[in-house]
Amino acid sequence: MTPKDPVARPRPWRRRVLLGAWLTAAAIICVRAVQIQVVQSQQWRAVAEAQHRRDEEIVAARGSVLDRDGTPLAVSRERFSVGIAPNELINVEAARSLLSDALGISSLLATQLTSPERRWSVVPGRYPPAVRQQLNGVRGIHVTRELQRYHPLGDLSDGVLGLVRDNTGSGGVEQAFQELLSGHPGQVVVARDNVGREIPGERILVEPPRPGGEVVLTLDMDLQEIALEALKEAIERTEARGGDVLITDPHTGEVLAFVSILDGRFASLSAINTPFEPGSTLKPFTVAGLLKHDIIALDDTIDVADGDWTFAGRTITRHHQGRMTVADALRVSSNVGIAQAAQPMTRAQQYENLRDFGFGGLTGIEIPGEVRGTLRRPDLWTGQSPASLAIGYEVSVTSLQMAMAYGALANGGRLMQPRLVREIRNSDGTVLERFEPRVIRQVISPRVASSVSRVLEDVVEDGTGKSARLGSFRVAGKSGTSRLYSADVGYEAGAYFSSFVGYFPAEAPQLVVFVKLDRPEGAYYGGAVAAPVTRATMEAALAARATPLDRAALLNATRVSTTPVARPAALFASVPITAPVSSAKDMAFPVGLPTDESPRLGSVVPIPDVSGLPSRVAVRRLHALGLRVSRARPGEILGTEPAAGTHVLRGDTIRLKVRRRIDD
């Protein structure tokens, strides 16, 4: 019997096991295929599409911020960043040449950026849209769209505007109107190859982006630049740490100029977020409260004795002695006189009077960051508080609060809400909302406001505010000097706030100008260091043709004689006398000296060298010095007549020599 070969004849059970395993695997594969192709088809189709297509968000163009005349202050411009993946480049030399030509970079930099040793390179800078057309579709070169926030007029209004980071506003108007300005993003589907690279031309727009709306401010750029230059010059001259200049319309509450500088930062908002004790600039409101309640009259007399007065354990000292009227006490800024005059007021009357003028509360300006300042309730006062409050201590205010309160004195007693925004618009220019002037309350009667204003005219004419005097118009105003106080160290030795608030023309005010300097070195009295800044600002505002002033009304308010002003021959031999005012068609208001007054310090200025500047910049620079400019066409400035360096009076007219353009 021949034995069986075990290899040639496998056992039947093994065949059955192998067959069963094969059938089971086939069944699993079929079931899985059905599951993928039928049951989960949509899911796996989405996975496949996700690998080859990607949804991308298109950032909407951020809306613009404009000044009152429609001049762009903040705009978004399309820019592109360029990245390079050297290992994806097909022709390295051609790519280097293209990068050099399209981006204007050196051959050396192009070589470094495309080095095979690098996995990824970023080209420095941001480039205009034309670059995308030149580089898009080149393998290894990746162009990314970005929207860059841009201020066409530079840092002129940085603090008010705020910043933008990742299309999100931070501070100022950008933050306050984030929802309006940011718009609505769009969506696009991008096709990609098997290694994730974008396939040129395979972009499907799903939803277009909707641009943001526009915000129109009340700011006037001529006045804004005048205020900025005046503050910069004052800070440099006095070595102050910083300061504020505000210009407002007392009748509408519009903020026409808003400049704050602190430690060299133009983006400061110290005018609304850094309160200070106002000192003597608060005294007019004490007098207004006394007149409002018929407690005292301006011609009532006060006996200040030897100039010292002790009240509740505190001695108030002033150099003035003897008897004086309430009006004189305000005119010469007598601490003793004003404190004594305020004695008959009840604590409730004194508190309500200051509160009604807006102190201790928010003004309601549209930008974030405003603080209330400090005005304690009467039940928290000490025995010294009534006298201290009467002369501007034990209360802290913001620069904006002071400007609005003086606006109430200027407009007949109405406290206005400050307005920084005129209107908001849709992206197509449709007005969504227009903001009208809003009266918060009638604080005092027109009669009381007029009475206080007449005393403030005397303050400038013959009191502590002489340095704010304009030759052409009567100015009402008040200076203030206060020591710097902090909760940690109390009053800091040698540290002062110097301020001056003025409005003009005094009999029919059109502008309120507030100036504050933070810790000036050397002379620190408000009448000495802040009042001249107010005067210079007013002079420049009068000289500028485009500022929002009622020129016809100003003609009726001018007090300048048509007779020539006498000037020392040696100093002014080559300077023409300003012609008398005859019409309001063009700006022609002399802003120099009144008749019979010798030249004041600061009335004479050298003509700056503006050669090489664009005519618009040159005009603004001359206006900032209080000089008038004859009409000039656009172009590059070649020089001036009289020549740069010539000393002239503020208010004199300068002729610009402009390079003639080829297409003229």
Query: In which element (H, E) is residue 554 found?
Result: helix 551-557
**Distance between CA atoms of residues 255 and 1, nearest Å:** 122
Confidence of residue 203 (pLDDT cuts 50, 70, 90): low
User: What pLDDT is attached to residue 202?
Assistant: 62
Ramachandran class of 311: left when φ > 0, alpha when ψ lies in -120 to 50, beta otherwise = beta
**Length of the chain (residues):** 664
Dihedral sign, CA of 24, 30, 33, 34?
negative
> Hey, what are 463's tokens?
């009191």
Q: What percent of the chain has pLDDT over 70?
A: 82
pLDDT in tens, 539-560: 888 877 667 888 777 777 665 4
- Give the residue with greater pLDDT, 132 vs 216: 216
Q: Which of 174-178, 439-443, 632-636 has the lowest mean pLDDT?
A: 632-636
Indicate the pLDDT class of residue 588, thresholds 50, 70 and 90. very low
**pLDDT surpassing 60 at residue 30:** yes
Q: Output DSSP code: residue 1.
A: -
The one-character DSSP state at 636 is B
Q: What is the mean pLDDT of residues 282-297?
A: 97
- Burial of residue 347, with CB atoms counted within 10 A of its CB: 0-12 exposed, 13-18 middle, 19 or more buried: middle
Q: Which helix H or strand E contains 616, and what residues bound it?
A: helix 615-624
- Write down the residue that tokens 């800024």 correspond to: 333
pLDDT value at residue 495: 87
Confidence of residue 592 (pLDDT cuts 50, 70, 90): very low
The listed range with the strongest mean pLDDT (235-244, 297-306, 562-571, 588-597) is: 235-244
Q: Mind listing the pLDDT tens digit for each residue in 83-129?
A: 999 988 888 898 889 899 888 889 899 899 988 888 898 999 888 88
Which of 14-18, 41-45, 145-149, 228-232: highest mean pLDDT?
228-232
pLDDT in tens, 464-515: 888 888 877 899 999 999 888 877 777 788 888 999 999 999 999 999 999 9
Q: Which is more confidently placed, 581 or 647? A: 647
Which tens digits make up the pLDDT trace of 151-199?
A: 988 888 889 999 998 889 999 999 999 999 999 888 887 776 655 555 6
What does the pLDDT read at residue 195?
55
Q: Binning pLDDT at 50, 70 and 90, where does residue 593 land?
A: very low
pLDDT for 559 equals 58
| C-alpha–C-alpha distance, residues 62 and 65, integer Å | 10
Say what the pLDDT of residue 35 is. Answer: 67
Q: Across all residues in the chain, what is the average pLDDT?
A: 82
pLDDT surpasses 50 at 269? yes
The enclosing H or E element of 225 equals helix 221-238
**Residue scoring higher pLDDT (503 or 23):** 503
Cα gap 509→557, rounded to integer Å: 10
CA distances from 201 to 5, 20, 191, 517 (A): 70, 53, 9, 60
Two tokens, residue 333 = 């800024």
Instruction: Sketch out the chain's domains with CATH numbers.
Output: 56-217 (3.90.1310.10), 221-559 (3.40.710.10), 566-664 (3.30.10.20)
Which pLDDT band holds residue 46 (cuts at 50, 70, 90)?
low
- Among the residue ranges 72-76, 386-390, 615-619, the one predicted with the least confidence is 615-619
- Least confident range from 21-25, 227-231, 327-331: namely 21-25
Print the SS3 string covering 104-166.
CCCHHHHHHHCCCCCCCEECCCCECHHHHHHHCCCCCEEEEEEEEEECCCHHHHHHHHCEEEC
Residue that the structure tokens 């594969």 belong to: 29
Does residue 551 contact residue 584 with C-beta atoms inside 8 Å? Answer: yes
Radius of gyration of the chain (CA): 36
**Coil, helix or strand at residue 287:** helix
pLDDT value at position 78? 84
- Please state the φ and ψ torsions of residue 636, each to the nearest 5 degrees: -85, 135
**Residue 579: what pLDDT?**
31
pLDDT mean over 344-370 = 97
Choose among 382, 426, 375, 421: nearest CA to 401: 375
Residue whose entry in the numeric block shows the structure tokens 């039940």: 379
Does residue 587 register a pLDDT over 60?
Answer: no
Q: pTM of the entire structure?
A: 0.77
Q: What is the pLDDT of residues 380-414, one digit of tens each?
A: 999 989 999 999 999 999 999 999 999 999 999 99
User: How far is the C-alpha of 63 from the C-alpha of 177, rounded, in Å?
Assistant: 10
Q: How many CB atoms lie within 10 A of CB 513?
A: 31
Contacts with 610 (C-beta within 8 Å, 6 or more apart), sequence order:
617, 618, 621, 622, 637, 640, 644, 656
Answer whether 219's CB lies under 8 Å from 548's CB. Answer: no
Q: What is the pLDDT of residue 438?
A: 97
Return the higher-pLDDT residue of 642 and 378. Answer: 378
Dihedral angle computed from the Cα positions of residues 527, 530, 535 and 539, in that order, rounded to the nearest 10 degrees: 170
DSSP 3-state assignment of 614? strand
Q: How far apart are CA 148 and CA 80, in angstroms?
A: 9
Range from 62-76, 479-493, 594-608 carrying the lowest mean pLDDT: 594-608
pLDDT for 356 beyond 90: yes
pLDDT at 74: 94
Burial of 3 (0-12, 13-18, 19+ CB in 10 A): exposed
Q: What is the pLDDT of residue 656?
A: 86
Return the exposure string of 141-160: e unless at least 16 CB atoms fall within 10 Å of the residue's CB, then b: bbbeeebebeeeeeebbbbb
- Please, which pLDDT band fits residue 49 given cuts at 50, 70 and 90? low
